[in-house]
Amino acid sequence: QSLLTQPPSLSGAPGRRVTISCTGSSSNIGANYDVHWYQHVPGTAPKILIYAHTNRPSGVPDRFSASTSGSSASLAITGLQAEDEADYYCQSYDSSLGGWVFGGGTKLTVL
Amino acid sequence: EVQLLESGGGLIQPGGSLRLSCAASGFAFNDYAMSWVRQAPGKGLQWVSTIIGSGYNTFYAGSVKGRFTVSRDNSRNTLSLQMNSLTVEDSAVYYCAKNGGFCTSATCYYFYQWGQGTPVTVSS
């Protein structure tokens, strides 16, 4: 059971908008530790999508955005494309563990 | 171009040991913290260990502390993970990752670039 809770699965039609939530607690997101997001297509290397809450590395489309409020964070994907079908993970630091934690992951299906 | 190439994975019996390596290129290796992250079959990503650029500070997940040792050779741009007393729960694909984030406490670290991973199977 991860300290960061994500919905196990989500789906959306091409062109639509989806939001993936990441709920933490006072020892991680709520403690103002940075939240980061990754995209992982099984069988390939995971890819950083968003770092430090809202920042997109070069090459990541602006269809991907994220926000953090209180003990929760969310990743929004607009204009869904077939290539967005992947697993998505949030990540932060947890002071009770003394280490870095990932959410359980959300499998996104593009209908 | 940053390249991270893991090696050393394989099939090992419970209680055995394995040493993973990650050959890094395309960046100033000793300027960056490096990490190992794993993914067990059917499970999500799990942070395993991190070592800062100088190699003087290391961090471990509770599930591997005392059994795994992370190290780096900055003269050879190589990251290693010595895994001892392996159990079936250690079976996973192990990824080497270059950290991003610059903060004195390391709490801001994220996993900026990743290798393709090397599979480890612990089974009798």
Query: What are the tens digits of pLDDT across the range A17-73?
Result: 999 999 999 999 999 999 999 999 999 999 999 999 999 999 999 999 999 999 999
Q: Which two tokens stand for residue B71?
A: 């190290």
With CA atoms as reference, the chain B residue closest to A107 would be B44
Q: What is the pLDDT of residue B11?
A: 98
Q: How far apart are CA A74 and CA A90, in angstroms?
A: 9
Mean pLDDT of chain B: 96
| Size of chain B, expressed as the number of residues it contains | 124
Q: Residue B1 pLDDT more than 80?
A: yes
Contact call for A104 and B44, based on CB within 8 A: yes
**pLDDT digit string (tens) for A84-108?**
999 999 999 999 999 999 999 999 9
Q: What is the pLDDT of residue B2?
A: 96
Q: What is the pLDDT of residue A107?
A: 98
Contact call for A57 and B112, based on CB within 8 A: yes
Q: In the structure, what pLDDT confidence band is assigned to residue B24 with cuts at 50, 70 and 90?
A: very high
Contact call for A2 and B44, based on CB within 8 A: yes
With CA atoms as reference, the chain B residue closest to A6 would be B44
Residue pair B59/B49 in contact (Cβ under 8 Å)? The answer is yes
B115 Cβ under 8 Å from any chain A Cβ? yes
Q: Which two tokens stand for residue A3?
A: 């300290």
Q: What is the pLDDT of residue A64?
A: 98
Q: How far apart are CA B80 and CA B20, in angstroms?
A: 5
Residues 6+ apart with CB under 8 A from A74: A19, A20, A21, A22, A66, A67, A68
Q: Residue B54 pLDDT more than 80?
A: yes
Q: How far apart are CA B107 and CA B97, in angstroms?
A: 16
CA-derived radius of gyration, chain B: 14
In chain B, which residues have their Cβ closer than 8 Å to the Cβ of A100? 35, 47, 50, 109
Percent share of chain B, pLDDT over 90: 94
B40 Cβ under 8 Å from any chain A Cβ? no
Contact call for A38 and B45, based on CB within 8 A: yes
**pLDDT digit string (tens) for B33-47?**
999 999 999 999 999
Q: How far apart are CA A29 and CA A35, in angstroms?
A: 7
Residues 6+ apart with CB under 8 A from B103: B109
Q: In the structure, what pLDDT confidence band is assigned to residue A10 with cuts at 50, 70 and 90?
A: very high
Q: Which two tokens stand for residue A20?
A: 């993936």
Q: What is the pLDDT of residue B47?
A: 98
Q: Which two tokens stand for residue B18?
A: 């394995």
Q: How far apart are CA A25 and CA A3, in angstroms?
A: 8
Of residues B44, B59, B116, nearest to A99 (C-beta): B59
Q: Which two tokens stand for residue A80?
A: 């869904």
Chain B closest CA to A58's CA: distance in Å? Answer: 12
Q: Per-residue pLDDT averaged across B103-123, rounded? A: 93
From the list B71, B90, B66, the residue with the least C-alpha distance to B81 is: B71
Q: What is the pLDDT of residue A106?
A: 98
Q: How far apart are CA A102 and CA B46, in angstroms?
A: 6
Q: In the structure, what pLDDT confidence band is assigned to residue B7 with cuts at 50, 70 and 90?
A: very high
Q: Residue B103 pLDDT more than 90?
A: no
Q: What is the pLDDT of residue B106?
A: 86
Residue pair B98/B27 in contact (Cβ under 8 Å)? The answer is yes
Q: Which two tokens stand for residue B91?
A: 């079976």
Q: In the structure, what pLDDT confidence band is assigned to residue B104 with cuts at 50, 70 and 90?
A: confident
Contact call for B116 and A44, based on CB within 8 A: yes
Q: What is the pLDDT of residue B101?
A: 85
